[in-house]
Amino acid sequence: MIEGLNPGLILILGALLVPLTSGIIRSILILALPVIAVIHIHMLGLGTWGHYEFLGLSLEITRIDPLSRIFGTIFCIAAFMGMVYAVHVKDTIQHFAALIYIGSAIGAVFAGDMITLFAFWELTAISSVFLIWASRTERAYRAGMRYLIIQVTSGVVLLGGIILYYQDTGSIAFDYIGLSSIAGGLILLAFGIKSAFPLLHNWVQDAYPEATVTGTVILSAFTTKLAIYALARAFPGTDILIPIGGAMIILPIVYVVLENDLRRVLAYSLNSQLGYMVIGVGIGSELALNGTAAHVFVHIMYKSLLFMCMGAVLFRAGTVKVSELGGLYKSMPVTTVFCLIGAISIAAFPLTGGFVSKAMIQSAALNGGLNILWPVMLFACAGIMDHSGLKVPFFTFFSKDRGIRVQEAPINMLIAMGIAAFFCIGIGVFPGLLFDLLPYAPTYDAYSFGHIVSALQLLFFTVLAFMLLIRYKVYPMELRSTVLDFDWFYRVPLKRLALAVGRLVLFVWNWTLGIANNIVNSVINVVANTHGNGKALARTTSSSMAIMIIVAVLGFVVVFFYG
Amino acid sequence: MLSLSSQYPILVAIVPLMAAPICALLRGKTAPWAFTTITSACTFYISIQLLFSVASSGPISYELGGWAPPWGIEYVVDLLSGFMLVLISGISTGVLLYARESITKEVAPQQLGLFFTAYLLALTGMLGISITGDAFNVFVFLEIMSLSSYALIAMGERTDRRALTAAFQYLIIGTVGATFYLIGVGLIYLMTGTLNIADIAARLPEIEGTRPILAAAGFIVIGIGIKLALFPFHVWLPNSYTYAPNIVTAFFAGTATKVGVYLLIRFIFTVFGENYSFGELGLTDILLPLGVLAFLTMSSVAIYQTNIKRLLAYSSVAQMGYIILGISLASESGLTAAILHIFNHAIVKTGLFLSLGCMFFVVGSTYLKDLEGIGKRMPITTFGFVLGGFGLIGVPLTPGFISKWYLVVAALEKGSIIGYSLVALLMISSLLAVLYIWRVVEVAYFRDPPDSVVKREAPMSLLVPTWIFILGSFYFGIETSFNVGIAKVAAAFLMGGA
């Protein structure tokens, strides 16, 4: 293999072969690419490669250090899982776009300079939108278009930031940037759009649920986590990220209460989980960054697992609406088990991956003296427990049996879910294996004070939630309203407030959006009325008119010269 | 001994000129084409030789008929004109490789001899303008180029009768442009008594404040502006490009307007000198707004077009705006960006028109409504078109990105609020380019083809030259030492030299 080839390019180049293959050869190809890439990453070891001069800028195509290596490794594993899950799909465009998308995300992770980063950054945007459009519905087309506009905007903002940064410092190396200049602010904004900061987050819930069954699984793993990596690289220890992350954890929970589409529920909870990672980056200590990396790893596993389960349900039952599902455990027992594993992992039960990684971030927060984050994280635990831990599996697989009788998920989907479930549990039981890959030497002592405190806190909530689950079983749920009543029980003090805050935010957001929409619409109208086909500027004027214009300009220019 | 290579400057113009009448006598489908292609390839070879020799040993001066300048006509090859010669003859040759099968669909067989005669004359005119060092000789070549191009455009009438009115309108407006140019040169001759460009440049400083010279500058800038389709003098261009035969459009899109730009650069920097042009004449205040308006309005117009050929034509006017903006910044980096974009846009746009020509060859139309699902019917062609579109947008790894990069750097160098807002406007314009390319992509890939048609690619004789241009554009977007290198040196020479 070429020395120092950016591992992302393996997938991108491999993607070019996809249209030429079919059947079993294509299956082997798409499964082999992530494996080759991960082997390539670890064969290369640490270092930098691919130094080129370009327009007087020094590029560094490949940089492998511990931080980029763990993200690259996670991405390759997630890519493999996604490909196993999608191997039955016959749609060339989807495989092609998915591989380009994954390849560019991995490429961006290993980019040593910001021009390379920008190139891959834009490529992830352009390629991933095809996974949304592949649903081939009008809704998906529109959502994809909005998604593309936002993603490309992020790229444009990033480019602006890079140019200013280059003007300021004369360097384009992709290292710590910080917030000391406008350039840093622009770059943070670009990263923030991609990592779905509060008020910049809508594209996640808008676009992800519209993608294809397999597309959502793949989408959910890469774009936002790439942004988290970029944040960890460029803005570790930036204080503003801590309140942003806190808001990120809380806000989606407010919206999710009312949501009926379960894939959208998961998209909201994904957004909330990202908040943990943003907080980790914001704290910026070694433990926090380790925790962030670990949480990314674990999060990709359980979130993919949950999306895969919902995807399998959508694939078989044709819907993931709360109001149309129920009692599927009889038909899809294996999927049910996997979904439960994902649910307990996202809810951070002990002996699951989520427990380990969340504990690390929470301990880091505590060590950093950020006590105020505690109530936030506790509230979030309750919220996550509710919507991802209970709502998703309960309404899908248990709840009222609506007589849906379908087959179990296809075998390749089950294998993919199995891999994810294996990691969810495996990391929980043997966290040491994950620790070895982390960017900093693992200083995390499982028996430190911080860990014990967080473990107790988490256990308290898990036990509480578990009891609630038992109560669900005591009341065998004929009606949805019962569940909502029960929501009232443990969230009432906060729910009203949260809803009020949510409404206020929604109002301000809608108002701003409305005004912005009006402005954009009127600009488009004016342009269409003047530049549209056959309108003033696009009309072929008569020759005499053209000459008149020419003479008038000539007159003006000559007078101008005389002056 | 009189070696052949010392005669290259005259040969590059005289070979196609002499070949043209011979071509008119040739009959049949293949003979005129083969003859023209060989002739064009010869000029390409000579141009490369000239460029190498200029790059290694400095500008060449060639006296026509042994008459010493400033009395006789002088041919001058410096780096910029050598660059233009290579560009023009290279694009001409590439387009001709594509022409054999393509043109038979659009021009009657008995007219092929005349068609290629006109083609050779247009090539002669462009090469001549680039190489001559005599202001009146420029006019002669300008007319040779223009007259033959009116004929070439009118030959599109077999496909669409509107080619005739388009050519006629171009004739009227183009003649006005040429006349303005001639009036300007006449005024200069009146005041300086010379037509040799270097000689004019030497004499001008004494009389540069006089009214005739100021008027001459106005006439020349506007005259050339019409020829290069400077906004708002672009009315002739969209129709001409739309209704001309495909290879003519591809050839002209890459070269004809670029020759106008070359002439403008020559007059602004060599004849008038940058200090006079941007100091006393204040050309920045005129060219900069026109350039900005060009790329904003024309890109917007392109979005709404229903005919892809017309869409690309409007995009060409918009791209001219970038070049004019580069010139108007009156800095070395701005001029570098302008010269660079002459080359980069030429190669990208020719590739786009050629791939569109492939679609026309198979489908018989370039209207969006007839090309639904073309991505499934002609995947190779359409993919080429999309890659070319990336170049127009300025995606990294394409030459469009390189040009825009230099343009942004030049705008930032200007500093102040104007520079920053120019950068913002450039970004907006790139977004507009995304939109108009997207319209094609949407129709090509996201609409289903009509049921009756089967998958059929264009023949290899069309596909191969098209892909040479597409891949070539990526080559020059990644390995930029040729285009960027020459543009930088040429700009430094023009700014520092004359």
Q: How far apart are CA B408 and CA B394, in angstroms?
A: 12
CA distance B189 to B196: 9
Q: In this model, does residue B104 exceed pLDDT 60?
A: yes
Q: Which of A187, A211, A233 is the last residue of a domain?
A: A233
Examine the domain organization and report whether A223 and A323 are in the same domain: no
| CB neighbourhood size of A183 (10 A) | 21
Are the CB atoms for B7 and B91 separated by under 8 Å? no
Kindly list the distances between the CA atom of residue B131 and the CA atoms of B79, B81, B140, B270, B498, in Å, as whole numbers in the listed order.
11, 6, 13, 14, 17
Phi and psi angles of residue A173, each rounded to the nearest 5 degrees, phi first: -60, 140
**pLDDT grade, residue B343 (50/70/90)?**
very high
Same domain, A224 and A242: no
B180 has a chain A CB within 8 A of its CB: yes
Q: Give dist(CA B130, CA B113) in Å, integer.
A: 26
Structure token digits, residue B337: 């960006």
Q: pLDDT tens string for chain A (563 positions)?
A: 466 788 888 888 888 888 888 788 888 888 999 998 988 888 888 888 888 877 777 888 889 988 898 899 999 999 999 999 988 888 888 899 999 999 999 999 999 899 899 999 999 998 999 999 988 888 888 888 888 888 888 888 898 899 888 888 888 888 888 888 888 889 999 999 888 888 777 788 888 888 888 888 888 889 899 999 999 999 988 888 888 888 888 877 767 766 777 788 888 888 888 888 898 898 888 888 888 888 888 889 888 898 888 888 888 888 777 777 777 888 888 888 888 888 888 877 777 777 778 778 877 777 777 777 767 776 676 667 666 666 777 777 877 777 777 888 888 888 989 998 988 888 877 877 777 778 777 666 544 555 556 656 655 665 566 556 546 554 333 333 333 333 344 345 556 776 777 788 888 888 888 888 888 888 888 888 888 887 778 888 888 888 888 888 988 888 888 87
Burial of residue A224 (CB within 10 Å: 0-12, 13-18, 19+) is buried
Burial class (CB in 10 A: 0-12, 13-18, 19+), A130: buried
Cα separation, A352 vs A344, whole angstroms: 7
Give the pLDDT score at B279. 85
pLDDT, residue A443, reads 61
Q: Is the residue at B368 inside a domain?
A: yes
- Is residue A212 one of the residues assigned to a domain? yes
Residue B427: which domain range? 301-498
Q: Is residue B219 part of a domain?
A: no
Within this chain, do residues A417 and A380 fall inside the same structural domain, yes or no?
yes
Q: How far is CA A283 from CA A287, A292, B225, in A?
A: 9, 10, 59
State the pLDDT confidence band at B197, using cuts at 50, 70 and 90: very high
How far off is chain B from A440, nearest CA to CA, in Å? 34
* A540 in any annotated domain: no
Evaluate whether residue A163 is within a structural domain. Answer: yes
Query: Quick one: pLDDT at residue A477?
Result: 38
Q: Is the pTM of this model over 0.90?
A: no
Q: Does residue B325 sit within a domain?
A: yes
Range in B216-225, B276-285, B343-352 the model is least confident about? B276-285
d(CA B151, CA B19): 18
**Length of chain A, please?**
563
Beta bridge partners of A64: A47
What residues contact residue B481 under an 8 Å CB cut-off, 6+ apart? none
- Is B150 domain-assigned? no
What is the per-residue pLDDT for A483? 32
Query: Residues A183, A79: one domain?
Result: yes
Whether A549 and B176 lie within 8 Å, measured CB to CB: no
Same domain, A255 and A223: no
* Residue A69: inside a domain: yes
**Residue A356 and residue A289 share a domain:** yes
CB contact under 8 A, B173 and A547: yes
Say whether both A225 and A284 belong to one domain. no
The candidate with the shortest Cα–Cα distance to B319, out of B217, B436, B474, is B436
**B395 — contact with chain A (CB < 8 Å)?**
yes
Task: Please check whether residues A53 and A32 belong to one and the same domain.
Answer: yes
Range of the domain at A384: 236-508
Within 13 Å of residue B339, how many CA atoms lie on the same side as its CB? 30
Same domain, A242 and A226: no
Chain A residue closest to B435 (CA)? A149
* Residue A263 buriedness (CB in 10 A; 0-12 / 13-18 / 19+): buried
Per the CB < 8 A criterion, the answer to whether A259 and A204 are in contact is no
pLDDT value for A188 = 92
Q: Is A558 close to B236, i.e. CB distance below 8 A?
A: no
Residue B93 maps to a domain: no
Question: How many structural domains comprise chain B?
Answer: 1
B62 lies in some domain: no
Please report the pLDDT score of residue A258 as a whole number. Answer: 64
Give the per-residue pLDDT at A317: 84
A225 plus A240 within the same structural domain = no
Regarding whether A458 and A329 lie in a shared domain, the answer is yes
Cα angle at A37 between A35 and A42, to 5 degrees?
A: 100
- Asked if residue A525 is part of any domain, the answer here is no
Q: Is B480 on the interface with A (CB under 8 A)?
A: yes
ipTM of this complex: 0.86
> Which of B179, B180, B214 is the best residue to mutate to test the A interface, defined by the most A CB atoms within 10 Å of its own CB?
B214
Regarding whether A137 and A284 lie in a shared domain, the answer is: no
Of A148-152, B118-122, B301-305, which one has max mean pLDDT? B118-122
B359: exposed, middle or buried (C-beta count within 10 Å: 0-12, 13-18, 19+)? buried
Instruction: Tell me if A553 and B397 make a contact (CB, 8 A cut-off).
Output: no
Distance CA A256, CA B1 (A): 89
> CA angle, corner B199, sides to B197 and B203, nearest 5?
115
Nearest CB to A557; choose among B222, B236, B396? B222
The reply to whether B405 falls in a domain is yes
A225 within a domain of the structure (yes/no): yes
The minimal CB distance from A533 to the residues B281, B282, B305 is found for B305
Q: Which uninterrupted H or E stretch holds A57? A: strand A57-64
Which 266-325 residues of chain B touch chain A by CB within 8 A? 281-282, 285-286, 297, 300-301, 303-306, 314
- Across-strand partners of A54? A57
| Per-residue confidence (pLDDT) for residue A498, from 0 to 100 | 66
Q: At A47, which amino acid appears?
A: G
B406 occurs within a structural domain: yes
Domain boundary among A204, A233, A262: A233
For residue B265, give every residue at least 6 positions away whose Cβ sits within 8 Å of its Cβ, in sequence order, or none: B80, B327, B335, B338, B339, B494
**Total number of domains constituting chain A:** 2
